[in-house]
Amino acid sequence: MQFFRCMDIDFIKNRYKSFLVSVFLLLMTAFVLIYREGPNYGIDFTGGIFMQISFQDKVKLQDFREVIRGSGISSFELQSSDNIVILKAKKSLESIEEFEKLVKNSIELKFPSNVVKIEKAEYVGTTVGKHLLKQAVYAFLFAFLGMVVYIAFRFRSGLWGIASVIGILHDVIICFGFLVLANKEANMTAIAALLTVAGYSINDTIVLFDRMKENLKVMVKESFLTIINKSINEVLARSIVTSLAVLIIASSLFFLGGEVIHTFAYIMIIGTIVGVFSSIFVCAPLVYEWEIRKNRRLKKSTLKPKQ
């Protein structure tokens, strides 16, 4: 902590290099989306087969997961309660009857002494998927709008609100790009993780903007460049320590938390790193660029001779 307090880095000076890094990551996301021909949507968005299976004796969910994966079904989700397991999978066969037969034969082969019964098997169409996708888009739009309004009111500047939302979009798009790059499913878990990243990113940005606002009142004789650099250096220790704590937890979930939480933890690892980067190297430099250009326009207008 003492080491970070002694640092005096000129972050704004290297803003164009950081902009290039952001542009590169955004272009990488676009390339990956084109190369992969779009994201790998999960059954929440594509539709699939819903199946409720009951067992005479309780089975471990991990053993059941291995059975389903061994049957050739790659995209599925599982939920369990007592002796009942709910399976949701993308439709991979011509009919539900064929799918039901495949699942039942695989289960009976793995658990020959356990009586299994398919209580329900039905197809969930893409209408539900479209509705969920629409709701996810609305969730992001309302979240961004609320953040712009809050920050504009909090810091009395619509520009600061717009800069913060640009930072959030930057983080969410890049995290989504890494999701597609790893060929992980874009499902409701991924959407929840992206919204969590957006919340983490805006929190880090607000802390920085709040310090900038305080220093603008105290350091009235200093230049705007000096104030921003000093503000970033002052919150640098807090940002690094907080990010490391989140990163350690997300990494633990990624490596030890199991397959269910794997996608969420993966996005949080990327989002934690990108979120700190955007606050320091995207949002603050954008505010600086806007203020400098606005002052230049004001000077030109005042120096312009009257007709």
Q: Specify the 3-state DSSP secondary structure of 184.
A: coil
- Please report the domains of the chain, with CATH numbers, ordered by start residue: 2-39+128-300 (1.20.1640.10), 48-124 (3.30.70.100)
Of 19, 39, 294, nearest to 191 by C-alpha is: 39
Of 279, 281, 187, 292, nearest to 242 by C-alpha is: 279
pLDDT per residue of the chain (307 residues) written in tens, 0 to 9: 555 555 678 899 889 999 999 999 999 999 999 998 889 888 777 778 888 899 888 888 888 888 888 888 878 888 887 788 888 887 655 578 888 888 888 888 888 888 888 888 888 766 556 777 788 788 878 877 887 788 778 777 778 888 888 999 999 999 999 999 998 988 888 988 998 998 888 888 989 999 998 998 898 888 889 999 999 999 988 888 999 999 999 999 999 887 778 999 999 999 999 999 999 999 999 999 888 887 776 566 555 554 4
pLDDT at 2: 57
**Burial track 244-262 (b if 16+ CB lie within 10 A, e otherwise):** eebeeebbebbeeeeeebe
CA–CA separation, 208 and 286 (whole Å):
13
pLDDT at 299: 60
Is the separation of the CB atoms in 83 and 159 below 8 Å? no
CA angle, 82 as apex, 45 and 62 as ends, to 5°? 60
Q: How far are the Cα atoms of 61, 93, 302 from residue 298, in angstroms, in the given order?
A: 66, 67, 6
pLDDT at 231: 92
pLDDT digits (tens, 9 = 90+) for 64-85: 888 888 888 878 888 887 788 8
Show Cβ contacts of residue 290 under 8 Å, excluding neighbours closer than 6 positions: 159, 163
CA–CA separation, 171 and 13 (whole Å):
22
pLDDT at 79: 83
Which pair of structure tokens corresponds to residue 81? 């309660």
pLDDT at 302: 57
pLDDT digits (tens, 9 = 90+) for 208-222: 999 998 998 898 888
Burial of 90 (0-12, 13-18, 19+ CB in 10 A): middle
Point out which residues pair with 41 in neighbouring strands. Answer: 186
Q: Specify the 3-state DSSP secondary structure of 55.
A: strand
Show Cβ contacts of residue 52 under 8 Å, excluding neighbours closer than 6 positions: 84, 85, 86, 87, 118, 119, 120, 121
pTM of the model: 0.83
pLDDT at 307: 47
